[in-house]
Structure 1
Amino acid sequence: MTEEEKIFSGGVAVITGAGAGIGMGIARRCGHIGMTVIVTDIDKANADKVAADIISTGGRAEAIKVDVSKPEALDALAQDVFDRHGAVRLLVNNAGIETIGNVWEIPTARWETTLNVNIHGVVHGVRAFVPHMLRVGQEAWVANLASVGSFGQMPTQTAYMMSKHAIQSFSECLYLEMQVAKVPINVCSIIPGMLKTSIFDAQAGKGEPQSAVAHRATMAHMMANYGMDLDEGCRLFVQGMAARKFWISSQPEMTEQMLAGRIAFFEKQATPALSDQTRALLGL
């Protein structure tokens, strides 16, 4: 039996945005190690498919449609899951979207959706689930999806970058709150590097300005050709959670490189500047 199985097998995992991408990969891994997986997504058809895949390989799963941009939907989800299952061992606040475009070109609706999903979805996921976890009193895990982008700068990806900076800060403070409160809830910051997902697919850019099309296509190409295998990355994420780590990276060397650049930027109090790599990406 693996360490992940010892820690998580028999428990309930709730994963937001699990109909595709990293959420799907973590859901499949949790099913593989013996958890009951609550697959949530705004697209019920995708959630159904992931749950069916887990069940077809001998796992336990169910699909629920949830829009994480609505705090009341997360309240209802938490109440329902605890009423029916009694406890949640693992909450993964994964749901997120990539938005591309200059700040002044992104329509209001797309800005609001990005911030409500990427930031408020995580905040209210914690707010909705943690009181139930505390009431049950068992050891539990809260994992929030940050990114190597939490430590970087990228023009035209500002909306996504700022949201991931916010989630990293939120998770750090949340970790300390759990320490101060002396409660058995582990907080983890999941830091994907470049994994093979559909986050940059063209259809995901609905509501973005026309100027975003080329950048999205370039990023999709890079991810498809150079990204890490999704299942391998998600295996590392679950392994890190079982080890009760706070920092959990799919590609630690990429995280270290981003952190080193960020530290140097702060130490020098440098003016933001485009790297050669960024210039090439933007076609400059």
Structure 2
Amino acid sequence: MTACDVFGGGVAVITGAGAGIGAGLARHAHRLGMSLVLADVDGAAAAALRDELTAAGGDAIAVICDVRDPDAVADLADRAYRDMGPVRLLVNNAGVEQFGYLWDTPVANWNRVLDINVSGVFHGVRAFLPKMLAEPAQAWVWNLSSIGGVASVPLQAPYIVSKHAVLALTECLRLEVQLAGHDDHVHVQAVLPGAVKSNIFESAGGVDDGTGVEAAESQREAMLDIKANAMDPVEAAAVVFEQSARGEFYLLTQPEYVSSAMADRAQVLASRVPPQLRTKPRFDPHRH
């Protein structure tokens, strides 16, 4: 079946929907005929996207939500089911970046990354999954990991740690849904974007002082160079939706080069070779 067959007419809830791949997923979901709950800590961004989609004939609401707050995420779930109906697709997407040597990283920045990128996914699962399990209708949960979830990258340790954690969380969650006997109608999938245009690098945290300030900003510039040639978020969303509709578990925005990273990771673990520094980014954003 196509993504339109699977998702058309359903309700999608997307966290971090105000920009980047979250907004791309929302725009493509709208094209498929889905109703949207656009959740973001940036209320203005979510409202602007809501206005764009409703002006184009879509059905969407915007909700200010900080995914670090479990009560706020629970309220988001209650509002989605009350105002829009049963949720067919939950996308736990909200995420932030961090640059710099790990030993220079401010404690507040470490906590911010883990609270948003990992605990935000956990709060989404706790708030929405029981409601999905109680409904007989088919439902999907997408958790946003990253190509970084199968890589080791210096000067981005908090982010890389968080994306490894989200991938493990999602793999375990899939098994738990199966163990509980609900895998016939609730489908858990991991999204691993490669290089997709967003503002995550500009808004990323850095370090306050020390010799690592220059290194942190140099890494930011390197990531911005990759962004310049990255994939359009709506194009990425279309790829992800079609893979999901086919029943795949690992949803890859650029299947060739994300799969290459996964194979490299498997080889590293199998051979027990320590991580090696590279003189340039391993992954080529031109390879889709």
Aligned-pair identity in percent equals: 39
Contact preservation (8 Å) 1:148, 1:254: no
Aligned residue in 1 for 2:13? 14
Stretch moving more, 28-37 or 50-59:
50-59
Please identify runs of 4+ aligned residues in structure 1 that moved more than 4 A. Answer: none
Match for 1:263 among 266, 274, 286?
266
1:86 aligns with 2:89: no
- The correspondence of residues 92-171 of structure 1 with structure 2, limited to 5 A, is 92-171=91-170
Query: C-alpha separation between the residues in 2 aligned to 1:54 and 1:238?
Result: 18
Where does residue 188 of structure 1 map in the other structure? 189
**5+ residue gaps in structure 1?**
280-284
Mapping for residues 202-281 of structure 1, pairs under 5 Å: 204-206=203-205, 208-209=207-208, 210-211=213-214, 212-224=216-228, 226-278=229-281
Q: Name the aligned partner's letter for residue 23 of structure 2.
A: M
When the two chains are superposed, the root-mean-square deviation of aligned CA atoms in Å is: 1.5
Alignment length (residue pairs): 275
Report how far residue 207 of structure 1 moved. Answer: 5.5
For residues 66 and 243 of structure 1, the distance between their equivalents in structure 2, rounded to whole angstroms, comes to 31
Partner of 1:173: 172
Q: Per-residue deviation at 1:206?
A: 4.5
Letter in 1 for 2:261: M
* CA apart distance, 1:188: 1.0
TM-score normalised by L of structure 2: 0.91
Q: Deviations over 1:77-133 (max 9, x none)?
A: 111211223310000000001111111111111111100000000011011101111
Deviation at 1:278, TM superposition (A): 4.8
Matched with 2:199 is 198
Deviation of 1:28 (Å) = 0.6
Separation (CA, whole Å) in 2 of partners of 1:215 and 1:110: 16
Q: CA deviation at 1:185?
A: 0.4
Report how far residue 262 of structure 1 moved.
1.1
How far is the alpha carbon of 1:205 from its aligned partner?
2.9
TM-score for both structures, normalised by structure 1: 0.93
2:110 partner SS: helix
Instruction: Name the one with the larger helix percent.
Output: 1
Q: What pairs up with 1:22-37 in 2 under 5 angstroms? A: 22-37=21-36
CA contact (8 A) 2:190 2:251 kept: yes
Which residues in structure 2 correspond to 1:47-58 (within 5 Å)? 47-58=46-57
CA contact (8 A) 2:39 2:64 kept: yes
Query: What is the CA–CA distance in structure 2 between the aligned matches of 1:139 and 1:81, rounded to whole Å?
Result: 17
Question: What is the CA-CA distance between 1:137 and the residue it aligns to?
Answer: 2.4
Partners of 1:134 and 1:265 in 2: CA distance:
37
Give the superposition deviation at 1:241: 2.0
TM-superposed deviation, 1:208 = 3.8
